[in-house]
Amino acid sequence: ARARRLPANRGGRGEQAGLARSRGFGLSAGEGRGTQVDTTWVAEAGIASGLEPDPEPRTCGRRSRRRQYRPFLVPFQNGTYRPTRRHVWSGSWRQRATGLVSSTPAPGPACSRPRVPFSSADGLPGLPADGSLLLGASSLSGRSWAGSLWLFKDPLAAPNEGFCSAGVQTEAGLSDLTWVGDRGILVASDSGAVELWELDDSETLIVSKFCKYEHDDIVTSVSALLPGTQAVSGSKDFCIKLWDLGQEKVLSSYRAHSGQVSCVAASPLKESLFLSCSEDNRILLWDIRLPKPATHIGQSVPHHLPTSLAWHTKKSKIFAFGDENGSVFLVDLKNPDNIRSLTIHSQSVTRLVFSSDSCPLLASLSEDCSVVVLDTCLVEVFKSEAHRDFVRDATWSPLNQYLLTTVGWDHQVIHHTVSSEPITVPASHKAI
């Protein structure tokens, strides 16, 4: 891609945008909104300094339907390259599925930490982890609506650009991302594209593998199926698509929903299962082995719009979902009509994230600027109102089971130490 320089920090509070957990996240540009960010824990060690330019131009098959985007780079003082535009960070975070993680964090570079065995949520063996972070950002203001990916070896250094070890600017805003295998990065784009990127061996470059424009509207969510050769994507065009990542093509296209698809979530324990929720007020369970793969579940759920989904990381029959009313529901597929719920937010739930320890905790994020952590009995054990705007995503640290990191539209990256002891639930919070 040709390099060019744009004026820095045009208009107002730097890059304005909308992006976050969803995890677009379908966020729209607006006054006072910051760059939308999608972040995830990385499971790979490596030492890098700066970014090198991609020697080959990136091709995405065809140009975006919405507008033309051009990635651009400027050199660091040492001659390496980084994206030009100063990013204001907000958005969503994710934990990378991995079989190995490093030991308890210690001062110094993350790559210097020793590695110890760890049983991951999906049970994949042999993958390294050092607790690094991958951030995804979107700029939805100005002349160029672009996105970017940033890799930080030291999570506490994010989002300081000076500590970024690898990064790339994308042609459109990012609405969601997830790790695929050891180095693959699957991205949902607000241009309607699904993109696959990959870290090189030295982890100093993020290289484009493919970019396919198969959806007719913003791709709101992506999720990788076990063992990492297939993935699913959901979009505002009402469609869900099943992808073969090796062959770089769509295997199936489903239009079972009659509204915009809000979230798709692949099971971390079962290869062929995933969930989807939509603005048609339905949650569907999918089994791609069946000729009619979709099953409607949760008929007894109150009719509030589902906004987020998360699988239990230890029990393959249990999942949680949040709705626009601020409630969190826990569903057992063995008895889907017996649903437990708790109203913990005053506005819509934006993301749900289970931890991967032996007794998983559930983090719930909301547009009311709060972060609430529940145990498996839906008892509130932690609450934070440190954010000053929508909280868009969160991730549990693979290095510390009680460390939760959140990101929001207030441009903050906040690390929370979560206590496992219950706290007093306000009377206004309704348990069912």
**pLDDT single digits (tens) 279-315:** 999 999 999 999 999 999 866 566 689 999 999 999 9
* pLDDT band at 154; cut points 50, 70, 90: confident
**Beta strand 283-287 pairing with 413-417:** unpaired
Answer yes or no: is pLDDT of 375 > 60: yes
For residue 162, give both structure tokens: 């000076």
Q: Which of these, 127, 117, 51, lies nearest to 96 by C-alpha position?
A: 127
Look at 70 and 209; give whichever has higher pLDDT: 209
Q: What is the pLDDT of residue 376?
A: 86
Exposure b/e, 407-430, CB count within 10 A at least 16 = b: bbbbbbbbebebeeeeeebeeebe
Q: What share of the chain is helix, strand, coil (3-state, %, to 5)?
A: 0, 40, 55
**147-153 mean pLDDT:** 87
| Residues 416 and 424 sit within 8 Å (Cβ to Cβ) | no
HSE-up of 53 (CA within 13 Å, CB side)? 17
| Contact in structure between 194 and 188 (CB atoms under 8 Å) | yes
- pLDDT score of 393 more than 50: yes
Q: Are 244 and 219 in contact (CB under 8 A)?
A: no
Q: What residue spans define the domains of the chain? A: 11-213
259-284: average pLDDT: 94
**Which amino acid type is present at position 97?**
A
Report the pLDDT value the prediction gives residue 398, as an integer from 0 to 100. 84
Task: Indicate the pLDDT class of residue 144, thresholds 50, 70 and 90.
Answer: confident
User: From edge to edge, which strands make up the β-sheet containing 413-417?
Assistant: 391-396, 403-408, 413-417
* Residue with more model confidence, 65 or 227: 227
Question: Strand order of the sheet with strand 164-170?
Answer: 36-42, 132-138, 147-152, 164-170
What is the pTM for the complete model shown?
Answer: 0.70
The predicted pLDDT at position 420 comes to 64
Reply yes or no on whether the pLDDT at 364 is more than 90.
yes
Residue 31: pLDDT over 70: no
Position 421 confidence tier, pLDDT thresholds 50, 70, 90: low
Instruction: Give residue 297's pLDDT.
Output: 86
